[in-house]
Structures are given as C-alpha cells and as structure tokens.
Structure 1
Amino acid sequence: MAERPAPARPAPPRHAADGDGDRGSGAVHALTLTLVLGVLLLTVLLLGQAGIATHRAGKAADLAALAAADTARGLVAGDPCGTAERVARDNGARLERCELVEPERVVVDVRTTVALGGPLSRLGPARGVARAGPPEATGGP
C-alpha cells in the first residue's frame, strides 16, 4: 500500500515579534498625513480670507476718511459722512461710524466693516479704522 502523505500542518500564528506587525500601516500613515495636510491647507486658506477682508475694510476706511475730509474742508460739495458712506460701499464695506472731530470739524474719524463669509462668519466682521484731515501746520520759520 502506498503511504499517505502527512497532513499539512497549519502555519504557526505570526506575532508582532516576527516583524510583520507593521504590515498595512503605510496606508494608515498616508491617510493620516493627507488628512493633517488637508486641515492645515484649509486653515491657511481661512486665515488668508480673513486677512483679505481685514485689508479690504482698512482700505475702505482710509478712502472713506480721505473723501469725507475733503468734503468737510469744502474741497468737494456735499455731506462728509454721506460721502464716506458712498465711498465705503463702493469699496465693498459698510460704514459703521463717521464722526467730525471738534473743534474745527475738518478731521474725520471713520470705521468700516466687511462681513466674513463661510465658517468665519461666527467671528464677526472685519473692521477698518481711519482718521483723515488737513496736514497740521509745522510752526516753522
């Protein structure tokens, strides 16, 4: 009679000590790294959006204050704060405050806001503040 082959023994279980415990961890690390880089990119983009809105609010405040100061000095006809509001609106901002500074009433303080969109809207609007008026006399000879 022919001998029967011995039944195959099952392979012994592999343990972490065998060096194969890290098998497949590269995919997990790649996914984790991709997620972290995505979150960082999103954070940088949101900070950039906030910075642009702040710059826009500051620019609108500067231009609105200059236009209002020219109107207050009589260089341009009209209401100084009405002019400031129009200039702020034309530059994508909303005029929050316009005040003629006493006693001469030719210096104008202006505050503007630009709304932040998306997830940044919870932080409130970006603000810009400016003051403009005629150059001061130096008192020189």
Structure 2
Amino acid sequence: MAQQKSSIKYYDANDADTETFHDAYNDSNRHNNISLASWEGCFLKSFDEMDDHLAQEVNTDSYCSGCTAVTLIKQGDQLIVGNLGDSRAVLCMKDRDQLISVQLTVDLKPDIPSEASRIFNCEGRVFAAEEEPDVYRLWMPDDDCP
C-alpha cells in the first residue's frame, strides 16, 4: 500500500484495567500525521509503548490483570483496525437520516475456540481460576499465574 504520510491519522484506545490510567494515558495519546513507514509499524509501536508504560507503573497490580487495545489508522477513505484482547471497535454511520452501528472487531476472549487454539499453539494455557469460575484467562505455560 502506498504511504501518504501527511494524510495518515492514527488513534488508539488502551485499557490497562484501571480507569484513571486509561483516561489519563489516552487523553494525551492521540497521534496525527504518523510518519512511520507502515501501518504495521504503527500498531507494533503502540503495543510496545503500552508494554513499556505498564512495566513502569509500580501501582498497577498486574498479576491477574490484562491489557486490551484497539488501534485505528485512517488513510484517505481506508480504515485499518488492529485489535488485541477483548476490546471492541464500532463504527457509527449515517444511513437515511438514521445512525447505524457496524462492529469492526471481534472480542478476542481466551474461551473462544479459535483464540484458545492460538494460545495453545503458543504454549499458553486457558482456564478459569476457582475464585472466578466464569472468567477464563490466559495462563503462563509452566507457572500458575496469568
């Protein structure tokens, strides 16, 4: 895909399971006119930045927490969506003076068969803890921790 760097708009929404962090981080994390060479680079950069930010947050209890992200790149009339975790992107469109919603992503929950298969292929495990029997989580291959 040909890149028109001056017309690329990049948006992300990350959720680190703490609302204050989520709001404060995202208010300052809207990017305009990204000059990366590719949209893949935009997505990887966003996810790497979030990993680094979470690693520096000493007040974040990450033992049973996770992080989800939806990233969008708008270039001209094209919309490229990246999704990690169980976040959801929904597009609102106008159709004959009515607003309609179009779901752009699928929640990647670990108990969905295709997602569980992907996790198993990466040597991860999926199960619900005894104290939260309805919440399936991704677990480390050899440790009893998510």
Give the TM-score band, short-chain normalised: under 0.3
What TM-score do the two structures reach when normalised by structure 1?
0.24
More helix as a share of residues: 1
Greater strand share, 1 or 2? 2
Q: When the two structures are superposed, what TM-score results if normalisation uses the length of structure 2?
A: 0.23
With CA pairs under 8 Å and 6+ residues apart, which has the higher RCO, 1 or 2?
A: 1
